[in-house]
Amino acid sequence: MASNEKLIGRRDVDDLEAILAVTNTDVDEAVHTVADNAEAIFTWDYEKGARPGLNKLYEKAKGAQWNAQTDLPWDTEVDLEKNAEIQRLQYAELEQDLSGTPLEKFSEQDMIQLSIESDNWTLSQFMHGEQGALICTAKIVESVPWIDAKYYAATQVMDEARHVEVFAKYLDEKLRGHYPINAHLKMLLDDIINDSRWDMTYLGMQVMVEGLALAAFGFMQQMTPDPLLRQMLRYVMSDEARHVAFGVLSLKEYYAGLTDAELRERQEFAFEAAVRMRDRFLQQEVWERMGIDPRPVVTSMLAIPPKENMFQQLLFSKIVPNCKKLGLLDASGGWLRRRFEELGVIQFEDWQDTGEEYESLQATG
């Protein structure tokens, strides 16, 4: 049985010092290299439609392409201060308790600046994550053994390139540049790319990272007063729901043939990915840029019960139901179910999975 030390590098999931010790020491790095250990797989079986669900997604993807340069109103003026002030009032309605944290003494202008920095950081991590998805999907084209999956993944490569492009354009032209990649996200992306097994690329990127992104995009779209960003996120969300549906559909078939020991490895990987993404959302770089000691803020964030923590809900509202649909919650004696129970997030298991959400997005498209 793998220990927490082996999976995430620390015994206690909420070990504050261990979490904050993980930092990006290469913020000026322009090129980052990761060993990709996957085999390139050719298939001589060209029967299109052997997997009808994948073929259906492929046909939808071909007709759902959009142009990041011409399909969005880039001439829209973005007033950062005004938008942050409106957004600040919306966040205030969530009634988060700031007592005992440095934020308790923040002025209204401090809170507005924090909102601007938080949005910049969040969109920056979206951009970096989308490049991870671009690389991972190209790897899926290379390594998956089914022609229908190769066809669909090729359309996702184009989607991900467009997503990187659109977030970079928004950050550079409408905000004030971008933050470097968060160290926890970087570690996770490196692990996903480095793993030689093609299904781990699906699980790490298509299900875990993209599942979180889909939930986070939806939250930000509801909260932002910026019409350009709302429209941009709506386009991206439609793509992302299709991407996660692709991962779940592909893995459900493959996982049905795995042994308990093999499924246990996937469960451990899913748990590790979930913790790393939770750590990422603590956004320690924002607190540091604001001149705040991140320790009391992060401590208060970790102390919020999962049922009251909107960030925990963002993270697990898609991941838990998708893991259940894949059979990962109860495989191998229910190991992942117990870990999600310990994290206090098992209540999300019966929430809408991404396949259902994709259909609803298409219906309202």
Hey, how many other C-beta atoms are within 10 angstroms of the C-beta on 156?
A: 29
Helix 310-325, helix 354-364: angle, nearest 10: 110
The pLDDT of residue 298: 87
Strands (DSSP E) found in the chain: none
Q: Three-state secondary structure along 220-250?
A: HHHHCCCHHHHHHHHHHHHHHHHHHHHHHHH
Confidence of residue 355 (pLDDT cuts 50, 70, 90): low
The pLDDT of residue 34: 93
Residue 93 pLDDT exceeds 60: no
DSSP designation for 352: P
Domain assignment present for 234:
yes
Residue 315 pLDDT exceeds 90: no
In the chain, % of residues over pLDDT 70: 92
**pTM for this one?**
0.91
Q: Which of 346, 353, 286 is nearest to 102 (CA)?
A: 286
- For 102-131, what is the mean pLDDT? 89
For residue 9, CA distances in Å to 14, 133, 185, 224, 339 come to 12, 24, 15, 36, 16
Domain assignment present for 32:
no
Domain assignment present for 51:
no
Which tokens belong to 70? 């011409």
Domain assignment present for 330:
yes
Confidence of residue 3 (pLDDT cuts 50, 70, 90): confident
The pLDDT of residue 90: 59
With beta carbons less than 8 A apart as the criterion, state whether 5 and 11 touch. Answer: yes
With beta carbons less than 8 A apart as the criterion, state whether 335 and 264 touch. Answer: yes
Structure confidence by residue, pLDDT tens digits, 129-150: 999 999 999 999 999 999 999 9
Domain assignment present for 268:
yes
Q: What is the mean pLDDT of the chain?
A: 88
Which tokens belong to 172? 């550079």
The pLDDT of residue 55: 92
CA atoms of 188 and 8, how far apart (whole Å): 10
Domain assignment present for 91:
yes
- Amino acid sitting at position 147: I
Residue carrying the six token digits 């390594």: 143
- For 203-224, what is the mean pLDDT? 89
Question: Can you give the residue range of the structural domain that contains 244?
Answer: 4-23+80-364
Residue 114 pLDDT exceeds 60: yes
With beta carbons less than 8 A apart as the criterion, state whether 117 and 284 touch. Answer: no
- For 48-66, what is the mean pLDDT? 92
Domain assignment present for 137:
yes
With beta carbons less than 8 A apart as the criterion, state whether 143 and 202 touch. Answer: no
Phi, psi of 27 (to 5 degrees): -65, -20
Structure confidence by residue, pLDDT tens digits, 325-342: 999 999 989 999 999 888
Domain assignment present for 243:
yes
The pLDDT of residue 105: 79
In the chain, % of residues over pLDDT 90: 54
CA atoms of 108 and 84, how far apart (whole Å): 11
Confidence of residue 87 (pLDDT cuts 50, 70, 90): confident
Structure confidence by residue, pLDDT tens digits, 161-175: 999 999 999 999 999
The CATH number of the domain holding residue 345 is 1.20.1260.10
Which tokens belong to 24? 């990006």
Structure confidence by residue, pLDDT tens digits, 7-29: 888 888 888 899 999 998 888 88
With beta carbons less than 8 A apart as the criterion, state whether 111 and 89 touch. Answer: no
CA atoms of 3 and 54, how far apart (whole Å): 36
- For 272-285, what is the mean pLDDT? 90
CA atoms of 15 and 11, how far apart (whole Å): 8
Residue 365 pLDDT exceeds 80: no
